[in-house]
Amino acid sequence: MMNWRRLGKSSVVALALGVSTMALGTGAGLAAPPAAANAGTATRTERPMNVLFIIADDMAARLGSYGAPVRTPNLDRLASQGVSFDRAYAQFPWCAPSRASFLTGTRPDTTRVMDLATPFRQALPDIKTLPQYFKDQGYYSGRIGKIFHQGVPGDIGLGGPDDTQSWTEVVNPRGRDKDAENGALINMTPGIPYGSAMSYLADGGADEEQTDGKVATAAIDMLRANKDKPFFIGVGFYRPHVPEVAPKKYFDMYPLDTIRIADETPEALSKVLPAAKAWTPDHFGMSPDEQRRMIQAYFAATSFMDAQVGRVLASLKELGLEDNTIVVFTSDHGFMLGEHGQWMKNILWEDSARVPLIVRTPGMTKAGTRSERTVELLDLYPTLTSLAGLPHYDRNQGQSLEPLLTDPADPTWTKPALSQVRGGRSVRTERWRYTEWEEGGLGRELYDHQSDPGEHRNLAPDPAYAATVAELKALLPKGPVEKRSKAVSYDPIRDCLVHPLSKAPKGEAKKPPAGGGAKGSGAAAARVCSEIDP
């Protein structure tokens, strides 16, 4: 049982700098971590293998190294030193369900986390999370920023519904961007809470004044303070989650006249299954110019976040920790930027479910290579424990990626990737994506990624593909699924309508505000969803 410890002198200083620090448990008395042999490395390290786990929020696989027109030089450099996974997928492309899944190493049907409020320990009270497992093996386990779910921007600086059993120490930075919600943000979807709104701000000030800048600074301090002990340090950045706030210089990297919006014709949008939409109307009703501005803001926030990752990785090198630290970079899920008329996440299109994933281990023999095998975020738990030489945790439902770190094209790796949302299940192989809505009652989708990477031609109704549908259907989990909520109209309390949460007043969560629509409904949104940010 963990107990909160009193804040020490260093914590008081941190609070003065806009960072809250809490010491939790120490893991004293546990056996020392073992030295570890790494898959894909030339020699065995004699020191215990550390883990630096870096995660972005709402970041699709849109990096320079993934072929996107986004400037991410630091992550591109990391990719040149590690193995990049081109087909990595979240198990539930929404913040809380995804993080609960990969941090416990179990699928959403096991965690029973399908919304933003249900704690995973309700269904799994004695599960050992990934950082907790390392802590119980004698590691220092530190968190900076968003690792488990936090509402953004609501929980910035507070920590949100964290899991105290997982950490030795936590740091909850708060930067000037948190205060930008007090009127400075430009909101394309007025009345919608900022955690969901298409909103942005080209801010002033230095990188270090933003929350993600403070995350990087705190991570550097934590690395320095714990460089002589085995550690698992989770660095959780908040960008590019909306609201898209970054210093103006990052916006200037992307002139509006160079931004391309999704090429979706009215005819194509009319063919999208209603169940495959999370939000209506298409594009939230944004004009093409407004769409360009949101894409510009998303790219800017991504480049800003990349710069902060660079600071952390530079510190790791300066401290002499590269030769015994595993580095992972990923995101909790992807993000739609107008494809199929959709924005954000919580849907089963490729751009929502797919994530960037880069793994670097000391002395890799396959540095700078890419794997096209389908992998899942829940594969990270067994991968990291194995690389660190720790015993396998028998409750893991994923599969170690070690074979792919040695041979990224390993022909024996045939595991598909499974993703789900309420009412929908999807399976992704190297060639196909097959999705069912309410076991087919609300429709089926089949896309051939060899000829249709944008997922525009649904082949499921074509009898010529019946055998393919049957083969892929057999890969989906058996049993009923939760009912699919309808695509939600442009409404300030849509998050409560889609997933009624425990904080919503009883009887109000499902009731639209008087007058409906976004305009004039801000009070209802504030009352019902004041602390609900996806």
Catalytic positions, please? 95, 149
By the 8 A CB rule, do 101 and 379 touch?
no
**Sequence-ordered alpha helix ranges (H) in 181-287:** 211-225, 248-251, 266-270
The SS3 call for residue 231 is strand
Both tokens of residue 95? 């913040």
Residues 97 and 117: their CA atoms lie apart, in Å, by 9
For 112, left (φ over 0), alpha (ψ -120 to 50), or beta?
left
Q: Regarding beta strands 432-437 and 424-428, do their DSSP bridges make them parallel or antiparallel, or are they unpaired?
A: antiparallel
Residues 105 and 103: their CA atoms lie apart, in Å, by 6
Q: Regarding beta strands 354-355 and 343-344, do their DSSP bridges make them parallel or antiparallel, or are they unpaired?
A: unpaired
Both tokens of residue 374? 């389908």
For 301, left (φ over 0), alpha (ψ -120 to 50), or beta?
alpha
Both tokens of residue 461? 């109704």
Q: Is the dihedral of CA 508, 509, 510, 513 positive or negative?
A: positive
Fill in the DSSP letter of residue 30: P
Q: Regarding beta strands 244-247 and 140-145, do their DSSP bridges make them parallel or antiparallel, or are they unpaired?
A: unpaired
Both tokens of residue 441? 């009652």
The SS3 call for residue 534 is coil
The SS3 call for residue 136 is helix
CA distances from 454 to 119, 356, 432 (A): 35, 17, 12
Q: What is the rounded (10 degree) CA torsion for 459, 378, 116, 200?
A: -80
The SS3 call for residue 142 is strand
List b or e across 182-216, with b for residues whose CB sees 16 or more CB atoms inside 10 angstroms. Answer: eeebbbbbebbbbbbbbbbbbbeeebeebbbbbbb
Helix-, strand-, coil-residue percentages of the chain, each rounded to 5:
30, 20, 50
* Short-list 498, 525, 527, 522, CA closest to 94: 498
Three-state secondary structure readout of 83-115: EEEEEEECCCCCHHHHHHHHHHCCCHHHHCCCC
